[in-house]
Amino acid sequence: MPVPETPAEVLVDELNRFRGRMCGLIESWGLPERQERGAISTLKSLSYDTQAVITEVLEDLEGQVLSLAADQRHTQ
């Protein structure tokens, strides 16, 4: 597996790892199958929504950093 290079790639890797661990935890609770599926589905939905928001913030920050760097180059 390639090493992640960007903050967004690190985020994806870490949240995938988080989801896997949390799904394993939910499965270990011994819930009835329907409740287990519901809990896992909810976890995945919430974490993918969160991932999308964080990715958008990272992209905005990256754009701001690049803009600041360009401004600094122009003022020198």
Interval 14-72: pLDDT, tens: 999 999 999 999 999 999 999 999 999 999 999 999 999 999 999 999 888 888 888 77
Helix (H, G, I), strand (E, B) or coil at 74: helix
**Count, residues in the chain:** 76
Reported as a pLDDT band with limits 50, 70 and 90, residue 1 is low
Residue scoring higher pLDDT (37 or 3): 37
Distance of alpha carbon 44 from alpha carbon 23, whole angstroms: 9
